[in-house]
Structure 1
């Protein structure tokens, strides 16, 4: 392959991976617009995010098999085509569940774009320059989430939300054409193993039903609804059966035997929690900024940009420190501390907070997540033999996606409950004898009378204004509680690092791929 073709292929696979990663965050600032345009609740609209994450979780474990079975070139180009076609269908969705369905299929196509892209990158570089390949790909991994919310905000405000999907179409076509002419099969082909369809089915059924229970339980009054009870039973049976089956067969889709490594088990738990923090903070912050603080989509997208840019440098720093022999545990503790500080400060904001103050706090979030990304993967595989490292890395990355999808569901349920509690508390102060209420009510009445309303209409409108403030205040307090809850979860799991055995001096190469 000529130098020009090699460089074009490198650019293509990085662009494909970035395109996939942009779509994990670009929709976040458009949720309110989608919700209003499609006539759906915010809880239902959040499925646009979680369905994509669930699809990624399902497809990641079998990407290696599909690459071997179908051929890397065919599978990769096919995945790009599926991703691109579904991007068009998402933009044309007529209702929320049609959008969620195509978003799920889009996630199945996107699952290959990240993991196969990195495998191609590593093949295009000689062994002595694999560090350069890892650095280039690592920066690309952060570029997607960096520009996703900003790009989504600009598009949503100046055009309309379907265009956040339509922009994938020219990029997808260009990537597919480029790969058709440039991408070849790997020099060393792996043997085709028997696919564990039973494991895939049990995993899909367990995760899908559990996700539905977490998403819809609060809205449907939990076990008072028949299908919630049924899905709970299916989830428990499927996941237990999945674990037993995977431990029994010789070629499991997810090799759970690697969890015998205490270091990997601890890293997997910490990665799960990191996924909760990563996805819930990116989900909640745009909702708070747009629905409660009245920021525009563009302003909301720009909130995340300074922190995300800073995260690129933190990523490179963490990789450099690991190469110089610094224990990943030290970096992980630093990352957890930074994210806990972000959660604590976000739990104290009010309606007077400015965009610059939020951007400053989001820098701590971005630094924390960036410092956790590479060290947690390094810690996960540090206690594994070489043959188990790819499976350990895949399992660890899958835990991050699971944490994200579960985290958003849990936050939706938690904020709904806390909103109801705060509303009751606030309403208890709305009484004729309460001095604060009386002063505010009389002030509104007097203002409305000055605008020409008679006394009876003015009183009705004054109560409506107070009701609006109660709803807004109770929603804000519930999200502040959610930030604090995530911070407490980080604090509660951090002591697990005390159980990690001291790693060997020789560290394995950092694995960023999903398989």
Structure 2
């Protein structure tokens, strides 16, 4: 078995490997959100319905969640460098095929393949970028990797919006090709693979474990992505897949606990730090993807911004996170307890959510969001690196690879759960708030009569007849009520996310200090 220092690089070689790993992590994460702003173009060009085209996002997410927990085992089977290079090639080729798809279902299929390649990039990049640094600098390595994971989701919408506005939707896939080719060549030239001491024969592979894993996370991801569209359990397929997901989870847990060589070793969850770190990763995914989802939704639906405007607004948050990553990395190197950094991150994120709750109005402008989103970025910067390193801090050897893959999968599921929960809450709470507002609007109210009269006069001044102006006045008032109901709902969402993060602070206190620094060079050994 190779010693850990045999994987450590210095100087320009380490810089090249670092850039390659961060580039691949960014590629994968950006592709989870870059298509969001191109859905309307795809729908028109491919002759698809909105429900059909949403599968472009869902297929990618399902493939991601399935492949992430398998990365440690697949790296051991084929060698980390070979597996990483193969994943980049699959991602790149699938990107080309996505851009050349002739119909919506071809595009959905190629997006699933792209997700299988992309999901593997996420965890493997984390391992590679960390093991080329010496132990005393691995906190900084986690910070560099974290920049890709945190910044990526916010770069996707503005980049996608720019490409769609100035070029065409296939170009959001074609831009991956030159980057993928360069990353593949650099990986094969500079990345080393640990000596795993042999691989299992195909007969020894835990095929049942893989099957149950696909059942569990595939069905669960589908339910989370599509449940809201079909009113949850009012749709028979949602019921069936919910049962499949439950059975898949049960059978997967049973299988992995009784088989000799499990594809995902759940026994590592006996470690207290990893168990709590897994929960924290879920919460981090919820906050990261949930807030990235709700902010553009609010600005476009309530404030009437374009997709490009909404995407560009998230850039300050990415800048703040990028600036925080090396600061947090140095803090970890100086042995500042992880749990204090995590608690601070949760508290800052609560402050951001409470601030958003207090400032959003129908007239909130871009300048109002700048420092608000900078605060969000700072909070995420404090959360990612300490959460990841502390979750793995008391694991040893190949347990670290299992733990890294498991926390990565849970972070993705946290994001899917957050988006599904927020989407459901917005649709239902908006109806509730509208109902409450409408009960206070009656034709007997002097204020209502004055508002209708003012609106009617305004429409008549623009050339409408009395009858048409009256109808327009009532329609305008109805629009105001709907907008106010939506505003109240988004206020509830921000406050709810903030309180959710605040109550997580005591959970951090359960974490014990790490006795040993995590040795990421042993991942997968």
2:182 to 145, 156, 174: 174
TM-score with structure 2 length normalisation?
Answer: 0.86
Structure 1 161/418 Cα, relative in aligned 2: closer, same or farther at 3 Å? farther
CA contact (8 A) 1:335 1:371 kept: yes
CA contact (8 A) 1:28 1:283 kept: no
Residue segments in structure 2 that go unaligned for 5+ positions in a row: 1-8
1:153 to 146, 157, 161: 161
CA contact (8 A) 1:276 1:404 kept: yes
The reply on whether 1:188 has 2:207 as its aligned counterpart is no
Partner in structure 2 of residue 439 of structure 1: 450
Partner in structure 1 of residue 401 of structure 2: 390
The reply on whether 1:470 has 2:470 as its aligned counterpart is no
CA contact (8 A) 2:398 2:523 kept: no
Structure 1 335/421 Cα, relative in aligned 2: closer, same or farther at 3 Å? same
CA contact (8 A) 1:157 1:297 kept: no
Residue segments in structure 1 that go unaligned for 5+ positions in a row: none
Structure 1 95/337 Cα, relative in aligned 2: closer, same or farther at 3 Å? farther
Structure 1 167/134 Cα, relative in aligned 2: closer, same or farther at 3 Å? same
The reply on whether 1:413 has 2:424 as its aligned counterpart is yes
Query: How many angstroms does 1:58 deviate by?
Result: 1.2
CA contact (8 A) 2:341 2:382 kept: yes
Partner in structure 2 of residue 321 of structure 1: 331
Partner in structure 2 of residue 77 of structure 1: 85
* Structure 1 stretch displaced more, 185-194 or 204-213: 185-194
SS for the counterpart of 1:499 is: coil
The reply on whether 1:269 has 2:276 as its aligned counterpart is no
SS for the counterpart of 1:26 is: helix
Structure 1 103/494 Cα, relative in aligned 2: closer, same or farther at 3 Å? farther
Query: How many angstroms does 1:119 deviate by?
Result: 4.3
CA contact (8 A) 2:80 2:194 kept: no
Taking the aligned partners of 2:43 and 2:434, their CA distance within structure 1 comes to 23
Q: Cα RMSD between the aligned structures?
A: 3.3
The reply on whether 1:212 has 2:222 as its aligned counterpart is yes
Q: How many residues align?
A: 512
Which string of whole-angstrom CA distances, capped at 9 and with x for unpartnered residues, describes residues 61-113 of structure 1? Answer: 22233234344454333322321233234445577665544333211111232
Query: How many angstroms does 1:331 deviate by?
Result: 0.5
Query: How many angstroms does 1:445 deviate by?
Result: 1.5
Alignment of 1:327-366 (within 5 A): 327-348=337-358, 349-366=360-377
Query: How many angstroms does 1:455 deviate by?
Result: 1.6
CA contact (8 A) 1:50 1:408 kept: no
CA contact (8 A) 1:205 1:235 kept: yes
Taking the aligned partners of 1:430 and 1:152, their CA distance within structure 2 comes to 42
Structure 1 284/65 Cα, relative in aligned 2: closer, same or farther at 3 Å? same
Query: How many angstroms does 1:344 deviate by?
Result: 1.7
Query: How many angstroms does 1:136 deviate by?
Result: 4.7
Taking the aligned partners of 1:278 and 1:514, their CA distance within structure 2 comes to 27
Taking the aligned partners of 1:130 and 1:497, their CA distance within structure 2 comes to 22
Partner in structure 2 of residue 257 of structure 1: 267
